[in-house]
Structure 1
Protein backbone atom coordinates (compact mmCIF):
# COMPACT_ATOMS: atom_id res chain seq x y z
CA UNK A 1 0.00 0.00 0.00
CA UNK A 2 1.07 3.58 -0.67
CA UNK A 3 1.09 4.55 3.00
CA UNK A 4 3.64 1.84 3.80
CA UNK A 5 6.02 3.11 1.10
CA UNK A 6 5.63 6.81 1.96
CA UNK A 7 5.73 6.28 5.72
CA UNK A 8 7.99 3.22 6.22
CA UNK A 9 7.33 1.38 9.45
CA UNK A 10 3.60 1.92 9.28
CA UNK A 11 1.46 -1.18 9.81
CA UNK A 12 -1.49 -2.13 7.63
CA UNK A 13 -2.86 -5.65 8.03
CA UNK A 14 -5.73 -6.89 5.88
CA UNK A 15 -7.62 -10.11 6.50
CA UNK A 16 -9.70 -11.79 3.81
CA UNK A 17 -11.30 -15.15 3.21
CA UNK A 18 -12.01 -17.22 0.14
CA UNK A 19 -15.47 -17.16 -1.34
CA UNK A 20 -17.33 -20.43 -1.89
CA UNK A 21 -16.02 -20.65 -5.44
CA UNK A 22 -12.50 -20.94 -4.02
CA UNK A 23 -11.18 -18.34 -6.44
CA UNK A 24 -12.16 -14.86 -5.28
CA UNK A 25 -11.32 -13.32 -1.91
CA UNK A 26 -13.74 -11.40 0.27
CA UNK A 27 -12.57 -8.54 2.50
CA UNK A 28 -13.09 -9.21 6.23
CA UNK A 29 -11.15 -6.62 8.25
CA UNK A 30 -8.21 -4.20 8.23
CA UNK A 31 -5.87 -2.85 10.92
CA UNK A 32 -4.14 0.50 10.37
CA UNK A 33 -1.52 2.59 12.17
CA UNK A 34 1.24 4.95 11.08
CA UNK A 35 4.93 4.86 11.98
CA UNK A 36 4.78 8.53 13.00
CA UNK A 37 1.90 7.76 15.37
CA UNK A 38 3.73 4.82 16.96
CA UNK A 39 6.82 6.99 17.43
CA UNK A 40 4.74 9.80 18.90
CA UNK A 41 3.04 7.49 21.38
CA UNK A 42 6.29 5.95 22.59
CA UNK A 43 8.19 9.22 22.89
CA UNK A 44 5.53 11.71 23.95
CA UNK A 45 2.60 9.97 25.62
CA UNK A 46 1.87 8.29 28.92
CA UNK A 47 1.69 4.47 28.96
CA UNK A 48 -2.10 4.71 28.96
CA UNK A 49 -4.47 3.49 26.23
CA UNK A 50 -8.23 3.66 25.89
CA UNK A 51 -10.10 1.10 23.79
CA UNK A 52 -13.47 1.60 22.16
CA UNK A 53 -15.62 0.59 19.23
CA UNK A 54 -18.22 2.52 17.25
CA UNK A 55 -20.67 1.69 14.48
CA UNK A 56 -19.95 2.42 10.84
CA UNK A 57 -22.78 4.01 8.90
CA UNK A 58 -22.31 2.41 5.48
CA UNK A 59 -24.73 -0.08 3.96
CA UNK A 60 -22.24 -2.85 4.82
CA UNK A 61 -22.30 -1.90 8.52
CA UNK A 62 -19.30 -3.09 10.56
CA UNK A 63 -17.43 -1.61 13.51
CA UNK A 64 -14.44 0.67 13.90
CA UNK A 65 -12.21 -0.40 16.80
CA UNK A 66 -9.77 2.18 18.11
CA UNK A 67 -6.86 2.54 20.52
CA UNK A 68 -6.38 6.09 21.83
CA UNK A 69 -3.61 7.42 24.06
CA UNK A 70 -3.20 10.56 26.14
CA UNK A 71 -0.38 12.94 25.32
CA UNK A 72 1.69 15.09 27.67
CA UNK A 73 -0.78 17.95 27.21
CA UNK A 74 -3.72 15.74 28.29
CA UNK A 75 -5.19 15.63 24.78
CA UNK A 76 -6.30 12.44 23.05
CA UNK A 77 -3.70 10.81 20.82
CA UNK A 78 -5.01 8.28 18.24
CA UNK A 79 -2.75 5.23 18.03
CA UNK A 80 -4.45 2.62 15.86
CA UNK A 81 -7.82 1.78 14.34
CA UNK A 82 -9.40 -1.16 12.56
CA UNK A 83 -12.49 -1.91 10.53
CA UNK A 84 -14.00 -5.24 11.59
CA UNK A 85 -17.20 -7.07 10.81
CA UNK A 86 -18.54 -7.17 14.36
CA UNK A 87 -17.43 -6.36 17.90
CA UNK A 88 -16.80 -9.57 19.83
CA UNK A 89 -14.07 -11.57 21.55
CA UNK A 90 -12.52 -12.81 18.30
CA UNK A 91 -12.24 -9.36 16.66
CA UNK A 92 -10.94 -7.70 19.83
CA UNK A 93 -8.35 -10.45 20.21
CA UNK A 94 -7.24 -9.90 16.60
CA UNK A 95 -7.09 -6.12 17.09
CA UNK A 96 -5.06 -6.42 20.30
CA UNK A 97 -2.63 -8.87 18.67
CA UNK A 98 -2.01 -6.41 15.83
CA UNK A 99 -1.74 -3.43 18.19
CA UNK A 100 0.80 -5.01 20.54
CA UNK A 101 2.86 -6.25 17.60
CA UNK A 102 2.85 -2.80 15.99
CA UNK A 103 3.85 -1.06 19.22
CA UNK A 104 6.54 -3.60 20.06
CA UNK A 105 5.83 -3.07 23.76
CA UNK A 106 4.91 -5.22 26.73
CA UNK A 107 1.17 -4.73 27.01
CA UNK A 108 1.28 -5.62 30.70
CA UNK A 109 3.29 -2.44 31.31
CA UNK A 110 0.49 -0.30 29.85
CA UNK A 111 -2.60 0.87 31.73
CA UNK A 112 -5.79 0.29 29.73
CA UNK A 113 -9.30 1.67 30.06
CA UNK A 114 -12.46 0.48 28.36
CA UNK A 115 -16.24 0.32 28.61
CA UNK A 116 -16.05 -3.44 29.28
CA UNK A 117 -16.97 -4.22 25.68
CA UNK A 118 -18.24 -7.59 24.54
CA UNK A 119 -15.46 -10.15 24.72
CA UNK A 120 -12.79 -7.64 25.74
CA UNK A 121 -12.61 -8.82 29.36
CA UNK A 122 -11.81 -12.35 28.18
CA UNK A 123 -9.13 -11.00 25.85
CA UNK A 124 -7.40 -9.22 28.74
CA UNK A 125 -7.66 -12.28 30.93
CA UNK A 126 -5.94 -14.44 28.30
CA UNK A 127 -3.64 -11.96 26.54
CA UNK A 128 -2.68 -9.42 29.24
CA UNK A 129 -3.38 -11.03 32.60
CA UNK A 130 -1.05 -8.70 34.53
CA UNK A 131 -2.06 -5.42 32.94
CA UNK A 132 -3.97 -2.75 34.82
CA UNK A 133 -7.40 -2.57 33.19
CA UNK A 134 -9.68 0.23 34.34
CA UNK A 135 -13.41 0.38 33.74
CA UNK A 136 -15.00 3.62 32.57
CA UNK A 137 -17.02 4.93 35.54
CA UNK A 138 -19.52 6.65 33.30
CA UNK A 139 -20.29 3.32 31.67
CA UNK A 140 -20.48 1.65 35.08
CA UNK A 141 -23.01 4.24 36.20
CA UNK A 142 -25.11 3.72 33.05
CA UNK A 143 -25.51 0.08 34.09
CA UNK A 144 -25.79 0.88 37.80
CA UNK A 145 -28.68 3.34 37.42
CA UNK A 146 -30.89 0.78 35.65
CA UNK A 147 -31.41 -1.00 38.97
CA UNK A 148 -30.39 1.75 41.38
CA UNK A 149 -31.65 5.12 40.11
CA UNK A 150 -31.62 8.43 41.93
CA UNK A 151 -29.39 11.47 42.21
CA UNK A 152 -28.21 10.54 45.72
CA UNK A 153 -26.74 7.21 44.62
CA UNK A 154 -25.29 8.81 41.50
CA UNK A 155 -23.47 11.39 43.61
CA UNK A 156 -22.17 8.76 46.04
CA UNK A 157 -20.95 6.45 43.25
CA UNK A 158 -18.91 9.28 41.75
CA UNK A 159 -17.67 10.27 45.19
CA UNK A 160 -16.37 6.72 45.72
CA UNK A 161 -14.73 6.68 42.29
CA UNK A 162 -12.93 9.99 42.92
CA UNK A 163 -11.35 9.02 46.27
CA UNK A 164 -7.55 8.84 46.44
CA UNK A 165 -7.23 6.91 49.71
CA UNK A 166 -8.72 3.68 50.98
CA UNK A 167 -10.21 5.24 54.10
CA UNK A 168 -12.23 7.81 52.10
CA UNK A 169 -13.30 5.11 49.66
CA UNK A 170 -14.65 3.03 52.54
CA UNK A 171 -16.45 6.07 53.93
CA UNK A 172 -18.10 6.69 50.54
CA UNK A 173 -19.11 3.03 50.24
CA UNK A 174 -20.57 3.10 53.75
CA UNK A 175 -22.72 6.05 52.71
CA UNK A 176 -24.00 3.98 49.80
CA UNK A 177 -24.73 1.10 52.19
CA UNK A 178 -26.90 3.39 54.33
CA UNK A 179 -28.92 4.46 51.30
CA UNK A 180 -29.22 1.04 49.61
CA UNK A 181 -27.71 -2.28 50.60
CA UNK A 182 -28.44 -3.66 47.11
CA UNK A 183 -26.58 -0.79 45.46
CA UNK A 184 -23.62 -1.33 47.78
CA UNK A 185 -23.51 -5.05 46.96
CA UNK A 186 -23.72 -4.31 43.21
CA UNK A 187 -20.68 -2.03 43.39
CA UNK A 188 -18.79 -4.22 45.84
CA UNK A 189 -18.67 -6.99 43.23
CA UNK A 190 -16.47 -4.78 41.03
CA UNK A 191 -12.75 -4.74 41.84
CA UNK A 192 -12.20 -1.33 43.41
CA UNK A 193 -8.86 -0.88 41.67
CA UNK A 194 -10.64 -0.87 38.32
CA UNK A 195 -12.96 2.07 38.97
CA UNK A 196 -11.82 4.02 42.07
CA UNK A 197 -8.75 6.23 41.95
CA UNK A 198 -7.40 5.06 45.29
CA UNK A 199 -6.72 1.68 43.70
CA UNK A 200 -5.00 2.94 40.54
CA UNK A 201 -1.28 2.34 40.12
CA UNK A 202 1.00 5.32 39.54
CA UNK A 203 2.80 3.74 36.58
CA UNK A 204 0.68 5.45 33.94
CA UNK A 205 0.91 8.94 35.52
CA UNK A 206 -2.74 9.29 34.56
CA UNK A 207 -5.74 9.55 36.88
CA UNK A 208 -8.49 9.14 34.27
CA UNK A 209 -11.43 7.01 35.38
CA UNK A 210 -13.61 7.64 32.32
CA UNK A 211 -12.98 6.88 28.67
CA UNK A 212 -13.77 10.38 27.40
CA UNK A 213 -10.72 10.50 25.14
CA UNK A 214 -12.15 7.69 23.01
CA UNK A 215 -15.50 9.49 22.88
CA UNK A 216 -13.67 12.61 21.67
CA UNK A 217 -11.87 10.57 19.01
CA UNK A 218 -15.12 9.00 17.76
CA UNK A 219 -16.65 12.46 17.49
CA UNK A 220 -13.53 13.77 15.72
CA UNK A 221 -13.87 11.17 12.94
CA UNK A 222 -17.67 11.31 12.71
CA UNK A 223 -17.67 12.45 9.08
CA UNK A 224 -15.48 9.49 8.09
CA UNK A 225 -17.76 6.79 9.45
CA UNK A 226 -20.28 6.86 6.60
CA UNK A 227 -17.67 6.41 3.86
CA UNK A 228 -16.52 3.23 2.04
CA UNK A 229 -13.52 1.61 3.72
CA UNK A 230 -10.74 3.04 1.54
CA UNK A 231 -12.16 6.57 1.79
CA UNK A 232 -12.79 6.07 5.51
CA UNK A 233 -9.14 5.23 6.13
CA UNK A 234 -7.93 8.08 3.93
CA UNK A 235 -10.25 10.56 5.67
CA UNK A 236 -8.92 9.49 9.06
CA UNK A 237 -5.33 9.85 7.83
CA UNK A 238 -6.03 13.38 6.59
CA UNK A 239 -7.79 14.35 9.80
CA UNK A 240 -4.73 13.17 11.72
CA UNK A 241 -2.35 15.13 9.50
CA UNK A 242 -4.35 18.32 10.10
CA UNK A 243 -4.61 17.67 13.83
CA UNK A 244 -0.89 16.95 14.27
CA UNK A 245 0.04 20.00 12.20
CA UNK A 246 -2.18 22.24 14.34
CA UNK A 247 -0.73 20.76 17.54
CA UNK A 248 2.80 21.33 16.25
CA UNK A 249 2.05 24.95 15.36
CA UNK A 250 0.43 25.55 18.74
CA UNK A 251 3.50 24.12 20.42
CA UNK A 252 5.80 26.41 18.49
CA UNK A 253 3.79 29.47 19.47
Structure 2
Protein backbone atom coordinates (compact mmCIF):
# COMPACT_ATOMS: atom_id res chain seq x y z
CA UNK A 1 0.00 0.00 0.00
CA UNK A 2 3.00 2.32 0.41
CA UNK A 3 3.58 2.26 -3.35
CA UNK A 4 -0.12 2.79 -4.17
CA UNK A 5 -0.57 5.82 -1.89
CA UNK A 6 2.92 7.33 -2.36
CA UNK A 7 3.66 6.91 -6.06
CA UNK A 8 7.33 6.55 -6.88
CA UNK A 9 8.24 5.32 -3.40
CA UNK A 10 10.09 2.06 -2.75
CA UNK A 11 8.72 -0.72 -0.56
CA UNK A 12 10.77 -3.81 -1.39
CA UNK A 13 9.83 -7.04 0.38
CA UNK A 14 12.17 -10.02 0.40
CA UNK A 15 10.96 -13.50 1.33
CA UNK A 16 12.49 -16.93 1.76
CA UNK A 17 11.01 -20.41 1.49
CA UNK A 18 10.19 -22.13 4.78
CA UNK A 19 8.41 -25.38 5.68
CA UNK A 20 4.73 -24.77 6.38
CA UNK A 21 3.63 -25.52 9.95
CA UNK A 22 0.23 -26.94 10.93
CA UNK A 23 -1.59 -27.33 14.23
CA UNK A 24 -2.41 -30.85 15.46
CA UNK A 25 -5.41 -31.90 17.55
CA UNK A 26 -3.58 -30.95 20.77
CA UNK A 27 -3.02 -27.43 19.46
CA UNK A 28 0.72 -27.96 19.01
CA UNK A 29 2.65 -26.74 15.98
CA UNK A 30 4.18 -29.38 13.74
CA UNK A 31 5.64 -29.56 10.27
CA UNK A 32 3.22 -30.49 7.52
CA UNK A 33 3.43 -34.00 6.08
CA UNK A 34 4.54 -34.24 3.35
CA UNK A 35 6.59 -31.04 3.77
CA UNK A 36 5.07 -28.02 2.04
CA UNK A 37 7.23 -24.97 1.34
CA UNK A 38 5.74 -21.47 1.52
CA UNK A 39 7.16 -17.91 1.29
CA UNK A 40 8.13 -16.40 4.64
CA UNK A 41 8.86 -12.72 5.36
CA UNK A 42 12.58 -11.94 5.61
CA UNK A 43 13.16 -8.23 4.96
CA UNK A 44 11.49 -5.02 3.86
CA UNK A 45 13.13 -1.82 2.61
CA UNK A 46 11.25 1.52 2.58
CA UNK A 47 12.16 4.86 0.97
CA UNK A 48 9.50 7.51 0.26
CA UNK A 49 9.58 9.46 -3.00
CA UNK A 50 9.04 12.85 -1.35
CA UNK A 51 12.21 12.20 0.66
CA UNK A 52 14.18 11.27 -2.47
CA UNK A 53 12.90 14.36 -4.27
CA UNK A 54 14.18 16.63 -1.49
CA UNK A 55 17.66 15.11 -1.18
CA UNK A 56 19.34 17.90 -3.12
CA UNK A 57 17.13 20.71 -1.81
CA UNK A 58 20.03 22.41 -0.08
CA UNK A 59 21.03 19.26 1.77
CA UNK A 60 24.60 18.27 2.41
CA UNK A 61 25.75 15.05 0.72
CA UNK A 62 26.14 13.43 4.12
CA UNK A 63 24.22 10.79 6.06
CA UNK A 64 24.78 8.20 8.77
CA UNK A 65 24.08 4.46 8.87
CA UNK A 66 23.15 2.43 11.93
CA UNK A 67 21.17 -0.57 13.14
CA UNK A 68 19.11 -1.11 16.28
CA UNK A 69 17.30 -4.11 17.78
CA UNK A 70 13.52 -4.31 17.57
CA UNK A 71 11.83 -5.35 20.80
CA UNK A 72 8.65 -7.07 19.64
CA UNK A 73 8.21 -10.88 19.90
CA UNK A 74 9.18 -11.02 16.22
CA UNK A 75 12.64 -9.57 16.97
CA UNK A 76 14.69 -8.41 13.98
CA UNK A 77 16.90 -5.38 13.33
CA UNK A 78 16.06 -1.93 11.96
CA UNK A 79 18.69 -0.57 9.56
CA UNK A 80 18.44 3.12 8.76
CA UNK A 81 20.02 5.90 6.71
CA UNK A 82 19.61 9.26 8.45
CA UNK A 83 20.90 12.69 7.48
CA UNK A 84 20.83 16.16 9.01
CA UNK A 85 18.55 18.90 7.74
CA UNK A 86 19.53 22.56 7.42
CA UNK A 87 18.64 23.07 11.09
CA UNK A 88 20.94 20.19 12.13
CA UNK A 89 18.05 17.90 13.07
CA UNK A 90 17.85 14.27 11.93
CA UNK A 91 16.03 13.54 8.68
CA UNK A 92 15.11 9.96 7.77
CA UNK A 93 16.07 8.88 4.25
CA UNK A 94 15.35 5.14 4.22
CA UNK A 95 14.99 2.19 6.57
CA UNK A 96 14.61 -1.59 6.54
CA UNK A 97 13.52 -4.39 8.83
CA UNK A 98 15.94 -7.30 8.47
CA UNK A 99 16.42 -10.66 10.16
CA UNK A 100 19.87 -9.84 11.59
CA UNK A 101 22.67 -7.28 11.33
CA UNK A 102 25.29 -8.96 9.18
CA UNK A 103 27.21 -8.43 5.96
CA UNK A 104 24.42 -9.86 3.82
CA UNK A 105 21.65 -7.66 5.27
CA UNK A 106 23.81 -4.52 5.10
CA UNK A 107 24.83 -5.31 1.52
CA UNK A 108 21.17 -5.68 0.58
CA UNK A 109 20.27 -2.41 2.33
CA UNK A 110 23.09 -0.45 0.68
CA UNK A 111 22.20 -1.88 -2.72
CA UNK A 112 18.56 -0.75 -2.41
CA UNK A 113 19.64 2.63 -1.01
CA UNK A 114 22.04 3.20 -3.90
CA UNK A 115 19.30 2.35 -6.40
CA UNK A 116 17.01 4.92 -4.79
CA UNK A 117 19.32 7.88 -4.10
CA UNK A 118 22.47 7.25 -6.12
CA UNK A 119 21.22 9.34 -9.03
CA UNK A 120 20.52 12.27 -6.69
CA UNK A 121 24.21 12.94 -6.02
CA UNK A 122 25.92 15.34 -8.45
CA UNK A 123 28.68 13.83 -10.56
CA UNK A 124 31.26 16.16 -8.99
CA UNK A 125 30.72 14.95 -5.42
CA UNK A 126 30.15 11.56 -3.81
CA UNK A 127 28.04 10.89 -0.73
CA UNK A 128 29.80 11.25 2.62
CA UNK A 129 28.68 8.33 4.83
CA UNK A 130 29.22 7.96 8.57
CA UNK A 131 29.04 4.67 10.49
CA UNK A 132 30.25 3.39 13.84
CA UNK A 133 33.69 1.84 13.48
CA UNK A 134 35.43 2.69 16.74
CA UNK A 135 36.91 -0.19 18.72
CA UNK A 136 36.90 -0.51 22.48
CA UNK A 137 40.01 1.24 23.76
CA UNK A 138 41.59 -0.10 26.92
CA UNK A 139 42.12 3.08 28.95
CA UNK A 140 40.38 6.41 29.29
CA UNK A 141 43.64 8.19 28.32
CA UNK A 142 43.82 6.28 25.06
CA UNK A 143 40.15 6.87 24.38
CA UNK A 144 40.57 10.61 24.97
CA UNK A 145 43.50 10.72 22.58
CA UNK A 146 41.50 8.89 19.93
CA UNK A 147 38.58 11.34 20.13
CA UNK A 148 41.05 14.23 20.05
CA UNK A 149 42.38 12.96 16.69
CA UNK A 150 38.83 12.75 15.29
CA UNK A 151 37.77 16.24 16.41
CA UNK A 152 40.80 18.34 15.58
CA UNK A 153 40.60 20.39 12.40
CA UNK A 154 44.36 20.95 12.21
CA UNK A 155 46.49 18.40 10.35
CA UNK A 156 49.65 19.23 12.33
CA UNK A 157 47.76 18.79 15.61
CA UNK A 158 46.32 15.52 14.31
CA UNK A 159 49.82 14.18 13.59
CA UNK A 160 51.04 15.34 17.01
CA UNK A 161 48.30 13.34 18.78
CA UNK A 162 48.96 10.31 16.58
CA UNK A 163 52.60 10.40 17.69
CA UNK A 164 51.41 10.36 21.29
CA UNK A 165 49.18 7.35 20.57
CA UNK A 166 52.14 5.57 18.97
CA UNK A 167 54.19 5.99 22.16
CA UNK A 168 51.25 4.90 24.29
CA UNK A 169 50.12 1.84 22.30
CA UNK A 170 51.72 0.74 19.02
CA UNK A 171 48.92 -1.73 18.20
CA UNK A 172 46.26 0.97 18.35
CA UNK A 173 48.47 3.31 16.33
CA UNK A 174 48.87 0.66 13.61
CA UNK A 175 45.11 -0.04 13.56
CA UNK A 176 44.34 3.66 13.14
CA UNK A 177 47.12 4.19 10.58
CA UNK A 178 45.68 1.47 8.37
CA UNK A 179 42.48 3.55 7.96
CA UNK A 180 42.74 6.63 5.78
CA UNK A 181 42.17 9.63 8.12
CA UNK A 182 39.83 11.21 5.56
CA UNK A 183 37.31 8.65 6.82
CA UNK A 184 37.52 9.47 10.52
CA UNK A 185 39.45 12.69 11.32
CA UNK A 186 37.92 16.11 10.82
CA UNK A 187 41.33 17.45 9.81
CA UNK A 188 41.09 15.44 6.58
CA UNK A 189 37.34 15.61 5.85
CA UNK A 190 36.21 16.67 2.39
CA UNK A 191 35.34 20.36 2.74
CA UNK A 192 32.40 19.94 0.33
CA UNK A 193 30.53 17.86 2.93
CA UNK A 194 30.27 20.76 5.45
CA UNK A 195 30.31 18.30 8.35
CA UNK A 196 31.35 19.03 11.92
CA UNK A 197 30.43 15.60 13.30
CA UNK A 198 32.77 12.77 14.21
CA UNK A 199 30.07 10.70 15.91
CA UNK A 200 26.84 9.15 14.64
CA UNK A 201 24.74 10.88 17.30
CA UNK A 202 22.03 12.04 14.90
CA UNK A 203 21.27 8.40 13.98
CA UNK A 204 21.23 7.47 17.67
CA UNK A 205 18.70 10.29 18.17
CA UNK A 206 16.50 8.68 15.52
CA UNK A 207 16.78 5.29 17.26
CA UNK A 208 15.66 6.88 20.54
CA UNK A 209 12.85 8.70 18.72
CA UNK A 210 11.24 5.41 17.56
CA UNK A 211 11.54 3.71 20.95
CA UNK A 212 7.77 3.79 21.58
CA UNK A 213 6.99 1.73 18.46
CA UNK A 214 9.90 -0.73 18.72
CA UNK A 215 7.67 -3.16 20.64
CA UNK A 216 5.08 -3.44 17.85
CA UNK A 217 4.86 -6.19 15.19
CA UNK A 218 6.30 -5.36 11.74
CA UNK A 219 3.24 -3.85 10.00
CA UNK A 220 2.26 -1.75 13.04
CA UNK A 221 5.89 -0.75 13.51
CA UNK A 222 6.21 0.48 9.92
CA UNK A 223 2.96 2.41 10.22
CA UNK A 224 4.13 3.88 13.52
CA UNK A 225 7.32 5.21 11.90
CA UNK A 226 5.30 6.68 9.00
CA UNK A 227 2.89 8.48 11.34
CA UNK A 228 5.67 9.85 13.56
CA UNK A 229 7.69 10.93 10.55
CA UNK A 230 4.70 12.61 8.88
CA UNK A 231 3.83 14.53 12.06
CA UNK A 232 7.44 15.58 12.59
CA UNK A 233 7.76 16.82 9.00
CA UNK A 234 4.57 18.86 9.31
CA UNK A 235 5.71 20.53 12.55
CA UNK A 236 9.10 21.38 11.07
CA UNK A 237 7.43 22.69 7.91
CA UNK A 238 5.27 25.05 9.99
CA UNK A 239 8.26 26.16 12.07
CA UNK A 240 10.34 26.85 8.95
CA UNK A 241 7.52 28.88 7.37
CA UNK A 242 7.23 31.27 10.32
CA UNK A 243 11.00 31.60 10.92
CA UNK A 244 12.07 34.96 9.50
CA UNK A 245 15.87 34.92 9.81
CA UNK A 246 18.05 34.07 6.82
CA UNK A 247 19.74 31.17 8.64
CA UNK A 248 17.95 28.31 10.40
CA UNK A 249 17.45 28.65 14.20
CA UNK A 250 20.38 26.48 15.30
CA UNK A 251 22.80 27.89 12.74
CA UNK A 252 21.59 31.42 13.50
CA UNK A 253 22.55 30.87 17.14
CA UNK A 254 25.86 29.25 16.15
CA UNK A 255 26.71 32.20 13.90
CA UNK A 256 26.34 34.53 16.88
CA UNK A 257 28.41 32.31 19.15
CA UNK A 258 31.08 32.13 16.47
CA UNK A 259 32.06 35.68 17.24
CA UNK A 260 33.30 34.50 20.62
CA UNK A 261 34.72 31.12 19.72
CA UNK A 262 36.76 30.02 16.67
CA UNK A 263 35.37 27.44 14.27
CA UNK A 264 36.75 25.53 11.32
CA UNK A 265 35.48 27.56 8.39
CA UNK A 266 36.26 25.47 5.35
CA UNK A 267 35.21 22.14 6.89
CA UNK A 268 32.09 23.29 8.70
CA UNK A 269 30.77 25.86 6.26
CA UNK A 270 30.47 28.58 8.94
CA UNK A 271 33.06 31.41 9.12
CA UNK A 272 35.65 31.32 11.91
CA UNK A 273 36.26 34.27 14.20
CA UNK A 274 39.08 35.56 11.97
CA UNK A 275 36.84 35.55 8.91
CA UNK A 276 34.13 37.25 10.97
CA UNK A 277 36.57 40.05 11.85
CA UNK A 278 37.25 40.62 8.14
CA UNK A 279 33.52 40.60 7.35
CA UNK A 280 32.80 43.16 10.08
CA UNK A 281 35.71 45.33 8.94
CA UNK A 282 34.27 45.30 5.41
CA UNK A 283 30.86 46.21 6.87
CA UNK A 284 29.34 43.16 5.23
CA UNK A 285 26.72 40.73 6.53
CA UNK A 286 28.16 37.60 8.14
CA UNK A 287 25.09 35.62 7.01
CA UNK A 288 26.21 36.08 3.41
CA UNK A 289 29.36 34.08 4.18
CA UNK A 290 27.61 31.05 5.70
CA UNK A 291 27.09 28.03 3.42
CA UNK A 292 23.74 27.94 1.61
CA UNK A 293 23.17 24.53 3.17
CA UNK A 294 22.09 26.29 6.37
CA UNK A 295 19.64 28.84 5.00
CA UNK A 296 15.98 28.95 5.98
CA UNK A 297 15.07 28.81 2.29
CA UNK A 298 16.68 25.39 1.90
CA UNK A 299 15.24 24.27 5.24
CA UNK A 300 11.72 24.98 3.95
CA UNK A 301 12.37 23.10 0.70
CA UNK A 302 13.16 19.93 2.64
CA UNK A 303 9.65 19.79 4.11
CA UNK A 304 7.61 20.74 1.05
CA UNK A 305 4.91 18.23 0.14
CA UNK A 306 4.32 15.30 2.47
CA UNK A 307 4.02 11.54 2.94
CA UNK A 308 0.51 10.40 2.08
CA UNK A 309 -1.73 8.39 4.39
CA UNK A 310 -1.83 4.61 3.92
CA UNK A 311 -5.21 2.84 3.79
CA UNK A 312 -6.33 0.74 6.74
CA UNK A 313 -5.40 -2.95 6.50
CA UNK A 314 -9.11 -3.84 6.08
CA UNK A 315 -9.03 -2.04 2.70
CA UNK A 316 -5.97 -3.81 1.33
CA UNK A 317 -6.31 -5.99 -1.78
CA UNK A 318 -6.52 -9.60 -0.68
CA UNK A 319 -4.03 -12.15 -2.01
CA UNK A 320 -5.46 -15.66 -1.70
CA UNK A 321 -2.44 -17.44 -3.19
CA UNK A 322 -0.51 -19.79 -0.88
TM-score range, shorter chain: 0.7 to 0.9
CA separation of 1:22 and 1:96: change in aligned 2, threshold 3 A: farther
1:28 to 39, 42, 46: 42
Using the alignment, how far apart are the partners of 2:207 and 2:126 within structure 1? 26
Shift of 1:243: 0.6
Do the aligned partners of residues 26 and 201 (structure 1) sit closer, same or farther apart at CA in structure 2, a change above 3 Å counting? Answer: same
Give, in angstroms, the shift of residue 172 of structure 1. 1.6
Q: Provide structure 1 residue ranges, at least 5 long, that are not aligned to the other structure.
A: 117-139
Is 1:154 matched with 2:171? no
Change (3 A) 1:184 1:23: closer
Q: Which has the higher helix share?
A: 1
Tell me if the contact between 1:41 and 1:77 (Cα under 8 Å) persists in the aligned partners.
no
Find out whether 1:11 has 2:28 as its counterpart.
no
Counterpart secondary structure, 1:105: helix
Computing the radius of gyration over CA atoms, which structure comes out larger, 1 or 2? 2
How many Å separate the matches in 2 of 1:144 and 1:175? 18
Aligned counterpart, 2:119 = 105
Distance 1:24 1:187 in 2: 47
1:1-253 aligned at under 5 Å gives the runs 1=1, 3-20=2-19, 21=35, 24-105=38-119, 109-116=126-133, 140=134, 143-145=135-137, 148-150=138-140, 152-253=141-242
Q: Which runs of 5+ in 2 are unaligned?
A: 20-34, 243-322
Cα distance, 1:53 vs. partner?
Answer: 0.5
Cα distance in structure 1, aligned partners of 2:183 and 2:156: 17
Q: 1:101 and 1:186 mapped to 2: Cα distance?
A: 33
Summarize the Cα distance change of 1:91–1:182 in structure 2 as closer, same or farther, 3 Å threshold: closer
Q: 2:57 aligns to what SS in structure 1?
A: helix
The more displaced of 53-62 and 18-27 is 18-27
> What is the CA deviation profile of residues 50-94 of structure 1, one whole-angstrom value per residue up to 9, with x for unaligned ones?
100000111121100000011111111100000000111111111
User: Aligned Cα RMSD in Å?
Assistant: 2.0
Task: Name the structure, 1 or 2, with higher relative contact order (CA <8 Å, separation 6+).
Answer: 2
